[in-house]
């Protein structure tokens, strides 16, 4: 079995970290497999959204596998470049759901924060242990945390290394839902089903617009024309939308 499993079920790509014995810490090989997964998800029109999960109940991911040491010849872009650490940032065009259980710390926490929707098991623990261990570097996790959590909550986590539990994460809006650990897979699938009821190209255009101008003033965002929205306006799905409205039925999206 590969340390990163990939399969497509219907319109949903399933990416699973499969290294339970190492608490799903990401090795160089896993990094390459994740990069290939993101590229395939972006390239295949019949993939409308993706779920990122991990095996075992103890940990979603504890970040990069530091045990590989200096003998690793190539620099690792953590999580296949999705986080933007160690190499160019890979932008995932499709909606991404993270299903998180157990320890979600360091680079693993950053990986989860790259998702558009996070579903957490009741046993999930989110943390930034870097400074507690005397580590700080290209630490993208601090930049994401201070943007996705209230500033003082994020700074307390950064400066103490203490973790927050799933309930606290939900209260602060870091996660969308908390479920029993045994229901995590079902809950993530339910989110994928809700997402895929929407026009997939419209979702992709909306994601590109929302995230593409998230760090800009509102006036700039409102004045921006987005290529993804322009392409969607000329798509088959727009014609299907209009035809379905005329016929009084639900549209059948094709993603084209």
Name the catalytic one among 20, 130, 230, 240.
130
Rounded CA Rg of the chain: 19
CB 88 within 8 A of CB 81: yes
To which residue do tokens 């029109």 refer?
45
72 vs 77: CA distance, rounded Å = 12
21 vs 23: CA distance, rounded Å = 6
Name the CATH code of domain 4-196 (choices 3.40.50.300, 3.40.980.10, 3.40.640.10, 3.90.226.10): 3.90.226.10
Please tell me what DSSP assigns to residue 26: B
62 vs 24: CA distance, rounded Å = 7
Concerning whether 29 is annotated as a catalytic residue, the answer is no
Name the catalytic one among 44, 57, 68, 110.
110
Tokens representing 179 are 């479920």
For the segment 89-115, what is each residue's pLDDT rounded down to a tens digit?
999 999 999 999 999 999 999 999 999
Concerning whether 110 is annotated as a catalytic residue, the answer is yes
User: What is the pLDDT at residue 87?
Assistant: 81
Give the phi and the psi of residue 180 in degrees, each rounded to 5: -55, 145
For the segment 152-196, what is each residue's pLDDT rounded down to a tens digit?
999 999 999 999 999 999 999 999 999 999 999 999 999 999 999
């Amino acid at each position: 079995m590969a340390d990163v499993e990939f399969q497509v079920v219907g319109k949903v790509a399933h990416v699973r970290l499969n290294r339970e014995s190492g608490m799903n810490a990401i090795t160089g090989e896993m990094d390459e497999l994740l990069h290939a997964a993101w590229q395939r998800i972006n390239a295949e029109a019949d993939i409308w959204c993706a779920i990122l999960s991990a095996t075992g109940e103890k940990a979603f991911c504890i970040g990069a596998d530091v045990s590989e040491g200096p003998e690793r010849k190539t620099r690792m872009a953590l999580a296949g470049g999705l986080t933007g650490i160690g190499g160019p940032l890979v932008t995932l065009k499709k909606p991404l759901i993270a299903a998180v259980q157990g320890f979600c710390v360091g680079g693993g926490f950053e990986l989860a924060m790259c998702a558009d929707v996070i579903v957490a098991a009741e046993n999930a623990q989110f943390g930034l242990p870097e400074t507690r261990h005397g580590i700080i570097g290209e630490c993208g996790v601090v930049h994401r945390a201070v943007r996705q959590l209230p500033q003082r909550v994020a700074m307390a986590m950064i400066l103490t290394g203490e973790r927050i539990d799933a309930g606290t994460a939900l209260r602060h809006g870091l996660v969308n839902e908390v479920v029993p650990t045994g229901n995590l897979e079902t809950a993530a699938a339910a989110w994928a089903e809700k997402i895929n009821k929407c026009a997939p190209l419209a979702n992709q255009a909306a994601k590109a617009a929302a995230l593409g101008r998230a760090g800009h003033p509102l006036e700039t965002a409102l004045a921006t024309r987005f290529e993804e929205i322009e392409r969607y306006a000329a798509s088959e799905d727009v014609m299907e939308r209009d035809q379905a409205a005329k016929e009084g039925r639900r549209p059948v999206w094709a993603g084209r």
